[in-house]
Copies of this chain bind each other. A is one copy, B any other.
Amino acid sequence: PGQQVAPPVDFRGRAGYVIATAPTRAELVETLDRAAALIGFRLRQPQARPASTHPLVDRAARETRSTVEVGGVAIGPDTFTLVAGPCAVESAEQTIEAARMAKAAGAVLLRGGAYKPRSSPYGFRGLRADGLRILAEVRAETGMPVLTEVVDSRDVELVAGWADMLQVGTRNMQNFGLLEAVGDSGKPVLLKRGMSATVEEWLLAAEYIALRGNSDIVLCERGIRTFEPSVRNTLDLSAVLLAQARSHLPVVVDPSHAAGRRELVRPLARAAVAAGADGVMIDVHPDPASALCDGPQALTSSDLSGLAGQLEDWAALAGRLPRQLLDPERGVVR
């Protein structure tokens, strides 16, 4: 740009005038800069608002916040989605029973883990491929689409063959190969926030998925790690609000994994609705005491029904459409 020939500046203003000339634009800028320095100023180029670090998922990328469709179920700003199911698929019986509980209470999407990430290698790590088959059977019986976690990039193709939506868990939020693999899978993705991830890092993780051409991403806040010993994690509802303000993606809340304690799940779920979350995801189990994974946080059938009834009222107050106004054919809001 320094080689451009520059027309002189000849400016008549409200109260004075400026004449400036130099052979090239670069030299003209330099000359004006030095002239300005005589009266204590320098030249600068006005800064454009900084570009988003995550342009694809940025709020500015869409006119309205997005609705993601999963097997006919809508998750987005107009509705409120209740996801429920067992933390882990332990057997066909336990899974179908939990799914019936979930459906009876009004849940529209079934969660259930076939592949479980466990801190200890000696823990129950899921039925894996067998679990996927069970989930498919339960979907066939209940009609509920299925959300299940994938924990290794090598498993994505297999899991995507069975599931309606893939979950990336908190421990894998920055497993970038996995993010790209689920991005390539063509399936909607539920991306949990890392347990010590900033909102910025969370959105950057979503951008990894979107960059592979997959924008069907739902964010899920599930609590962060703090110093408080009485809860498993500390639910962070301000992160839900920030994520909704900065991206166009739906954001749901998992109060079960946040609190890790059954008695906190219902009030935290209500708080999530009131804050404006686009849905909640709840652990249920027909017999929490015998659960192979996270029993202390699972709701029983009556717990869940009670909660679901409340959520409907709260969601209506929050301006969310009741389910019957959703188009049953397209799964999106009429």
Contact = CB atoms under 8 A, between A and B. Distances in A.
| Residue among A208, A231, A270, A273 with the highest chain B CB neighbour number at 10 A | A270
What are the 10 A-B residue pairs with the smallest beta carbon separation, nearest first?
A16-B22, A152-B177, A274-B274, A196-B196, A18-B35, A171-B174, A15-B27, A11-B35, A271-B275, A16-B31
A31 B17 contact: yes
A44 to B, nearest CB: 5
A195 B198 contact: no
Contacts of A125: 176
B20 A27 contact: no
Contacts of A9: 35, 38-39
Interface in A235-286: 235-239, 241-242, 245, 258-259, 263-264, 267-268, 270-276
Interface string A119-137: 1111001000000000000
A306 to B, nearest CB: 13
Query: How many copies, total?
Result: 4
B228 A199 contact: yes
Contacts of A62: none
B11 A16 contact: no
Contacts of A29: 39, 41
A16 B201 CA distance: 48
Interface stretch (A88-96, A139-147, A219-227, A294-302): A219-227
A42 to B, nearest CB: 5
B42 A13 contact: no
A321 interface: no
24 contacts: A11-B35, A13-B22, A14-B31, A16-B20, A16-B23, A17-B22, A18-B35, A32-B39, A42-B44, A44-B44, A53-B122, A151-B176, A154-B154, A171-B174, A196-B225, A196-B227, A199-B228, A224-B227, A225-B227, A237-B237, A237-B271, A245-B263, A271-B274, A273-B274
